[in-house]
Structure 1
Amino acid sequence: MNDRSVGVQVEATAKWLEERGMVGAAGLLRRVARQRDEAVRRLVLRPSSPAHQADGGGCTTSRDLDAALEAAMLRTDVARFQALAERAGWVPDPDAKRLWSWRDGWWELSYRRRNPKDGYHDTGWYLWGPPGSYDGEWTARAKTAAMAEANRLVAVHRAATDEGDR
């Protein structure tokens, strides 16, 4: 599948996307990550010319600047992609009873019927998030109320993790 590693976070997100049928998004994520890594590798491994080594300077060539520009542009593209995904809000899955959202990680809001054997004690919408967040938390019976409650819970989780990082 992959001939080169794209990093643990990128690979985990790509596998998560594939498990949910979003193969194209997973491929795009891996491709952009590989392009970013290649641009950074070219920038870091670029040898200085002998003329620049003689005067001890770390003078940059236009190729160095091109590689740095490409790496910066790819980082910006990934950040824009994440910002757009976050602004999209809750996006419906091909399965009519499931919604996805990106908020510093993937979140799922799914409709489940009451089944205490499976852990669903009420019929309604349940929230799942990245590891360390919510894992099947009941939000509401109606979709609109569930989306509002899920947004509140995600905001609470993000605020708590931001404070924990400081």
Structure 2
Amino acid sequence: MNDRSVGVEIDATATWLEERGIRGAASLLRRVARQRDEAVHQLGLQSGSPAYRTDGAEPSAPRDLSAAAEAAMLRTDVARFQALVERAGWLPDQDAKRLWRWRDGWWELSHRRRNPKDGYHDTGWYLWGPAGSYDGEWVDPHKGPAMDEAERLITKHRTAICGDGR
């Protein structure tokens, strides 16, 4: 299901959840995102700039304070959901040698056997991240140290990109 009405990042996360059999969380995420979008629409706000019109006119005033409160509450709910997923840490996949982690995007840590033809020069754990981050970098031969090193690399990447390592 490709639902662009809720946004690319939310749709990608919901699709990822559905692929792993977590359909309830996916539908909850989409429902909250749609409710957020409906509240923003009720306020008459333009997409891309939640508080201002994009045609150069003065900022639009909220027409309905209850809709503004609902939009704020739904933004908070989506942020809480993402924070909970981030705090969950490394989540195992159906594949016993693959782990997933959310930190402003999905990160994958998976075990590969040595095969120079495929680009795996050592047997061990490799890290993949969102675009512009790591793309199959060898981390460690053992799972525990690989998870620790992956956390360090993710924090390093986030510090370089965002200025914070949270």
Note the aligned Cα RMSD (angstroms): 2.5
Q: How far has the Cα of 1:9 moved from its partner?
A: 2.7
> 1:93 matched to which residue of 2?
93
User: 4+ residue runs of structure 1 moved beyond 6 angstroms?
Assistant: 58-61
Distance 2:3 2:140 in 1: 44
Q: How far has the Cα of 1:12 moved from its partner?
A: 3.4
What does 1:105-144 correspond to in 2, within 5 Å? 105-144=105-144
TM-score after normalising by structure 1: 0.79
Query: Which structure's CA Rg is the greater one?
Result: 1
* CA gap 1:70/1:131 in 2 versus in 1, 3 angstroms: same
Q: How far has the Cα of 1:65 moved from its partner?
A: 2.0
Contact residue 107 and residue 127 of structure 2 kept, 8 A: yes
Amino acid at match of 2:125: W
Aligned to 1:107, the other structure's residue is in SS state: strand
**Are residues 1:68 and 2:71 paired?**
no
> 1:81 matched to which residue of 2?
81
> 1:104 matched to which residue of 2?
104
Q: How far has the Cα of 1:36 moved from its partner?
A: 0.7
Question: Deviations 1:71-114 (Å, cap 9, x if unpaired)?
Answer: 11110111111111111111111221111111111101011111
Larger helix share, 1 or 2: 1
Amino acid at match of 1:95: D
Aligned to 2:6, the other structure's residue is in SS state: coil
Q: How far has the Cα of 1:10 moved from its partner?
A: 2.3
Amino acid at match of 2:39: A
TM-score after normalising by structure 2: 0.79
Amino acid at match of 1:12: A
Contact residue 128 and residue 137 of structure 2 kept, 8 A: yes
Amino acid at match of 1:133: S
Distance 2:134 2:62 in 1: 48
Amino acid at match of 2:20: G
